[in-house]
Amino acid sequence: MSSITFLPNEKIFSLNGENYSYVMQIKDGYLRHLYYGEKIANEDISSLFPQFLRAFSTNNFINDSFDTFSNEFPTLGKGDFRNFAFLIKTDTGSRLTDFKYEHHEIIDKPKETILPNLKGGKTLVIYLKDAISNIELNLYYTPYDKGVVRSARIKNMANTAVYIKKISSFSLDIPNNNYELVYLSGSYARERQIETTPLKPGLFEISSLRGTSSHQFNPFIAIKEKHTTEFSGNVYGFNLVYGGSFSLSAYTDQYDYVRLMGGINHADFSWQLNPKETFITPEVVLVFSNQGMNLLSQHFHDLYRDNLIKKTKLPIVFNSWESVYFDFDEEKLLSLIDKSALLGIEIFVLDDGWFGNRNDDTTSLGDWYTNIKKLPNGLKPLINRCKKHNMGFGLWIEPEMISPISELYQKHPNWVLRDSRHEPIQARNQYVLDLTNKEVIDYLKNTITKLLTENDISYVKWDMNRSLTENCSLTLDADNMEETHHRYMLGVYELLQYITDKFPHILFEGSSGGGGRVDPGMLRYFPQIWTSDNNDPISRSKIIYGTSLCYPLSTISNHIGDEITHANGRQTPLEIRTKINTLGPTGIEFNILNQDLSILEKVKTKFTDYKIWRNLIIDGDLYRLENPFQGDIFSFLIINREKTKGHLVILSSNITTNDKTYHTKLKGLNPKKQYLINNEKFFGSTLMNVGIPFRHSFGNYMVKSYYLEETL
Q: Is residue 337 helix, strand or coil?
A: helix
DSSP state of 28: T
Question: CA dihedral defined by 447, 449, 455, 460, rounded to 10 degrees?
Answer: 90
Whichever of 462 and 488 has its CB closer to ligand DGJ, that residue is: 462
Question: How many C-beta atoms lie closer than 10 Å to residue 605's C-beta?
Answer: 13
Could you say whether residue 463 binds ligand DGJ (CB under 6 A)?
A: yes
Assess 186 for contact with ligand DGJ (CB under 6 A): no
Q: Rule CB under 6 A: which of 306-335 touch ligand DGJ?
A: 321
At CA 688, angle to CA 683 and CA 694, rounded to 5? Answer: 105
Least separation in angstroms between residue 398's CB and ligand DGJ is 7
510-529 residues near ligand DGJ, rule: CB under 6 A? 511, 513-514
Residue 302 engages ligand DGJ in binding (rule: CB under 6 A): no
Describe the crossing of helices 330-342 and 597-619 by its angle, rounded to 10 degrees.
70
680's CB contacts (< 8 A; 6+ apart) are none
Query: How far is residue 597 from each of residues 344, 578, 583, measured CA to CA in Å?
Result: 14, 16, 24
User: Secondary structure of 44-83 in the HEC alphabet?
Assistant: CCHHHCCCCCCCCCCCCCCCCCCCCCCECCCECCCCCCCC
**How far from 520 is each of 137, 241, 602, CA to CA, in Å?**
25, 5, 35
Smallest distance from ligand DGJ to CB 597, Å: 27
Q: Does 530 bind ligand DGJ (CB under 6 A)?
A: yes
In the sheet with 317-319, reading across from the earlier edge strand, the strands are: 556-557, 528-530, 507-510, 459-462, 392-397, 347-350, 317-319, 587-588
Residue pair 197/204 in contact (Cβ under 8 Å)? The answer is: yes
Catalytic option among 302, 351, 463, 621: 463
Number of residues assigned to the chain: 712
Which of these segments, 2-10, 508-516, 616-624, 677-685, binds ligand DGJ (CB under 6 A)?
Answer: 508-516
430: contact with ligand DGJ by CB under 6 A? no
Least distance to ligand DGJ, CB of residue 353, Å: 8
Which of residues 463 and 562 has its CB atom nearest to ligand DGJ in the complex? Answer: 463
Nearer to ligand DGJ, 31 or 365 (CB): 365
Point out which residues pair with 680 in neighbouring strands.
677
Residue 533 interacts with ligand DGJ (CB under 6 A)?
yes
379-398: contacts with ligand DGJ (CB under 6 A): 396
The yes-or-no answer on residue 533 being catalytic is: yes
Work out whether 351 is an interface residue with ligand DGJ (CB under 6 A).
yes
Q: Would you say 189 or 248 has its CB closer to ligand DGJ?
A: 189
Q: Are 381 and 364 in contact (CB under 8 A)?
A: no
367 has catalytic annotation: no
Residues 352-381 that bind ligand DGJ (CB under 6 A): 352
Alpha-helical (H) ranges within 343-471 are 380-388, 407-411, 438-454
Min dist. Cβ of residue 396 to ligand DGJ (A): 6
Q: Are 509 and 530 a contacting pair, CB within 8 Å?
A: yes
Closest CA to 653 of 577, 710, 597: 577
Residue 507 beta carbon to ligand DGJ: minimum distance, rounded to whole angstroms = 16
Q: CB 467 → ligand DGJ: shortest distance, Å?
A: 13
Give me the 60-99 binding string for ligand DGJ, x by CB under 6 A, dash otherwise. ----------------------------------------
Residues 11, 34: Cα–Cα separation, whole Å: 12
Single-letter code of the amino acid located at 513: G
- Residue number, 123 or 319, with CB nearest to ligand DGJ: 319
Choose the stretch contacting ligand DGJ; rule: CB under 6 A; options: 26-34, 237-245, 430-438, 507-515. 507-515
Residues 6+ away with beta carbon under 8 Å from 50: none
Query: Closest separation between CB of residue 565 and ligand DGJ, Å?
Result: 13
Q: Which stretch binds ligand DGJ (CB under 6 A): 365-373, 506-514, 643-651, 690-698?
A: 506-514
Q: Nearer Cβ to ligand DGJ, position 318 or 682?
A: 318
Active-site entry in 80, 253, 352, 533: 533
What is the nearest approach in angstroms of ligand DGJ to the Cβ of residue 344? 22
CB-wise, 12 or 460, nearer to ligand DGJ? 460
Nearer to ligand DGJ by C-beta: 91 or 360? 360
- The answer to whether residue 465 forms part of the interface with ligand DGJ (CB under 6 A) is yes
**Segment contacting ligand DGJ by CB under 6 A, of 198-206, 509-517, 627-635, 678-686:** 509-517
What is the distance, to the nearest Å, from the Cα of residue 256 to the centroid of all Cα atoms in its chain? 30
Cβ-closest position to ligand DGJ: 352
Q: Which of 368, 234, 359, 210 is nearest to 290 (CA)?
A: 234
- Kindly tell me which of 6 and 325 has the beta carbon lying closer to ligand DGJ: 325
How many chain residues interact with ligand DGJ (CB under 6 A)? Answer: 11
What residues line the site for ligand DGJ (CB under 6 A)?
A: 321, 351-352, 396, 463, 465, 511, 513-514, 530, 533
Which residues are the active-site residues?
463, 533
